[in-house]
């Protein structure tokens, strides 16, 4: 997220999502997922941006977002109704 007003919001968002992510894997890989955070904090439009090459990794990353489902509302200082995000999930053995 470039030029976002409130880095502490991003930090909390990432902590919540990674808290719902299963990191234990047998094969390393990197998956990038795109999603939108609505003004009320709902996570919508979860899509795969870049595959790791392993379907299980890709699905697991998307599942973390589906499980998180709801974040805190976007900060009042943020002027838009939604925030587009790309988040990378780095699987290590």
Chain centroid, CA 29 distance in Å = 16
pTM: 0.92
Q: Which single residue is written with the structure tokens 């790309």? A: 86
Q: What is the pLDDT of residues 33-42, one digit of tens each?
A: 999 999 999 9
Q: What is the pLDDT of residues 10-65, one digit of tens each?
A: 999 999 999 999 988 889 999 999 999 999 999 999 999 999 999 999 999 999 99
The maximal CA–CA distance of the chain, rounded, in angstroms, is: 42
Q: Which residues contact 51 (CB under 8 A, 6 or more apart)?
A: 31, 58
């Amino acid at each position: 997220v470039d030029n976002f007003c409130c880095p502490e919001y991003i930090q909390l968002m990432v902590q919540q999502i990674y808290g719902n992510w299963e990191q234990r894997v047998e094969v390393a890989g990197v998956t990038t997922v795109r999603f939108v955070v609505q003004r009320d904090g709902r996570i919508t439009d979860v899509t795969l941006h870049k595959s790791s090459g392993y379907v299980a990794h890709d699905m697991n990353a998307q599942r973390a977002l589906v499980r998180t489902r709801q974040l805190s509302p976007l900060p009042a200082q943020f002027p838009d109704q939604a925030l587009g995000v790309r988040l990378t999930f780095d699987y290590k053995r």
